[in-house]
Amino acid sequence: MSRPGDAEFWQDYASVLAPYQAGTVTDAELTAWHERRLAAVLDHVTARSPFYRRHFEGIDVSTITPETLSRLPFTTKADLRREMFDVLSGTPADAAIYYETTGTTGVSTPCPRSARDIKASNAAVEESWRRLFREHFGDRKPVVGLMGPSELYAFGDVFSDVTANLGACHVKIWPESPRVGFRKALRLIKELNVEVIVCAPALCLSLAKAALHFGLSLDELNIKMFLVLGEICTPEFRANVGSLWKQATVYPTLYGSQEALCIATGAKTGQLHLSQLNYIAELVDPDTGELRGATGEGELVLTMLVDGIKPLIRYRTADLVRIDPAPDGSALPGPVVEVIGRAADRIALGERLLQPAELESTVLEGVRGCLGYQVVIDRAPTGADIVTVRLDLLPEISGDPVAVRAGIAERLRDRAGVHADVAVEAELDPITNTGAFVSWKAARILDLRTEPDAAVLAARKVRLQYSITT
């Protein structure tokens, strides 16, 4: 629903959006935008959010600027779970649509979005897709298959709106839906000539396995592009997907969350770019919270600049990222964001504390024809860590499995100092197909050194609905 001041907001937003997307906005203009939007959001939350009114008690928010933002306390996921509707700057009735987090590892928290939130957030996605579609299809519009949840979740609405605004047809064919399933999804991909699939990275592999299971050659399906989101997607993973789907290019299309909306969007280079009109980004040490600045590596902290229904101030995302300035001539505006994985997904292995992306890159470097993988970690009687990597391989693509196994074992020994066995198996635990529904770590790592945590238990609870061949 609209609210007073919407017309003025959109006029101001449009005055910056066009030059920003064209790459002509100056540093001074961007700084001025951040200053006035931060002031507007701080006024908004202290007037309308019971949580932020208490959270910032004793602080004169009128003195806060982007340069002095660190004077404000963090907002954490624990705050959102404890405060629930008190975090909102208004009531759910003030929103255009209501969403919640999935609640797989804790209580679901409310994530309503106002018209301002939706339009400003989707603008970055729409520009990203416009450029990618032009690059691959020219003036022709492809049919887009949306493979993700919709109920109480923004996936379906965001990409439906974006596809409609671009004048393309979309079809909602999430295989995990009881009304769809893999057989029907594959039939529709073939009959409708779906050329673009939007999904989590793990689904690129699951879809290939399902096609082979149902007797389809991957060459029969005309998929040209996978737009992936929701979990880490390393260059090694993308190269492996390309070895299966030879006509398709894999692009990270969106990094975001229910709470923080569309944080970064993908370019033809395979890089994600921060939606800089909508956020001020900081990096902090994930263990101490010490500020590391705006570039480099650390836990991402976001301040949202749209005064919608749930703007978050200095929100600790619990995600590890690397942020670098955009190089000259970038395919999209905004700093480059590389998603490394959740801070909680770091893995102590041998002599190293590995980031999720590091471990995936180590396993999949040079590997082709892989339909799935799982890393099993146990402890030898000597106390040393031992690793077994389980792979589901297509031998006609992967090549000599002995060489594949030797390469993975050597890389794990070199990078973590651990002994590794590699097993090629036709069927992996379906938990590996859950992807980011719970967490990358719960899907990909079986750690026998410790008791399963809440994320692992949640993934085990739903894994059978992600089965492909049964």
Number of domains in the chain: 2
Q: How far apart are CA 259 and CA 283, in angstroms?
A: 18
Angle between helices 201-213 and 235-244 (to 10 degrees): 20
Q: How far apart are CA 374 and CA 447, in angstroms?
A: 10
Cβ atoms of 107 and 82 within 8 Å: the answer is no
Q: Other C-beta atoms within 10 Å of 393: how many?
A: 21
Task: For the chain, give the percent of residues with pLDDT over 70.
Answer: 98
Q: Which of 276, 306, 341 is the last residue of a domain?
A: 341
Q: Which of 299, 321, 341 is the last residue of a domain?
A: 341
Cβ atoms of 427 and 406 within 8 Å: the answer is no
Q: Indicate whether 157 pLDDT > 80.
A: yes
Q: What's residue 430's pLDDT? A: 87
Return the H-helix or E-strand segment holding 7.
helix 6-22
**Same domain membership, residue 362 and residue 297:** no
Q: Residue 189 sits in a domain of what CATH number?
A: 3.40.50.12780
> Which phi-psi region, left, alpha or beta, contains residue 329 (left: φ > 0; alpha: ψ -120 to 50)?
left
Terminal-residue alpha carbon distance, the chain: 45
Q: What tokens appear for 64 in the block?
A: 């806060």
Q: Where are the alpha helices (DSSP H) in 50-142?
A: 50-55, 77-83, 115-137
Give, in order, the Cα–Cα distances in Å from 259 to each of 47, 296, 396, 426. 20, 24, 43, 38
Q: How far apart are CA 301 and CA 67, in angstroms?
A: 14
**Same domain membership, residue 355 and residue 334:** no
Q: Provide CB contacts within 8 A for 165, sequence distance 6+.
A: 122, 126
Q: Indicate whether 63 pLDDT > 70.
A: yes
**Residue range 171-183, pLDDT digits in tens:** 999 998 889 999 9
**Same domain membership, residue 415 and residue 382:** yes
**Same domain membership, residue 270 and residue 180:** yes
Q: What's residue 204's pLDDT? A: 95
Write b or e for each residue in 110-136: b if 16 or more Cβ atoms lie within 10 A of its Cβ, otherwise e.
bbbbbbbbbbbbbbbbbbbbebbbeeb
Q: What tokens appear for 76 in the block?
A: 């954490």
Q: How far apart are CA 34 and CA 295, in angstroms?
A: 17
Question: Side chain identity at 425, as an amino acid letter?
Answer: E
Q: How far apart are CA 374 and CA 351, in angstroms?
A: 20
**Same domain membership, residue 430 and residue 408:** yes
Q: Which domain holds residue 115?
A: 1-341
**Same domain membership, residue 351 and residue 332:** no
Q: Provide CB contacts within 8 A for 447, sequence distance 6+.
A: 347, 377
Q: Other C-beta atoms within 10 Å of 83: how many?
A: 19
What residues form DSSP beta bridges with 296? Answer: 323
With cut-offs at 50, 70 and 90, classify the pLDDT of residue 440.
confident
**Same domain membership, residue 308 and residue 374:** no
Cβ atoms of 274 and 321 within 8 Å: the answer is no
With cut-offs at 50, 70 and 90, classify the pLDDT of residue 469.
low
Q: Which of 306, 341, 376 is the last residue of a domain?
A: 341
pLDDT mean across residues, the chain = 93
Q: Residue 371 sits in a domain of what CATH number?
A: 3.30.300.30
Return the H-helix or E-strand segment holding 253.
strand 249-257
Q: Indicate whether 439 pLDDT > 90.
A: no
**Residue range 204-247, pLDDT digits in tens:** 999 999 999 999 999 889 999 999 997 788 999 999 999 999 99
Question: Side chain identity at 157, as an amino acid letter?
Answer: D
**Residue range 349-378, pLDDT digits in tens:** 988 898 888 999 999 999 999 999 999 999
Q: What tokens appear for 13 in the block?
A: 């937003």
Edge-to-edge strand ranges of the sheet holding 419-424: 419-424, 385-393, 370-379, 445-447
**Same domain membership, residue 119 and residue 27:** yes
Give, in order, the Cα–Cα distances in Å from 286 to each of 35, 80, 292, 347, 454. 27, 18, 10, 14, 20
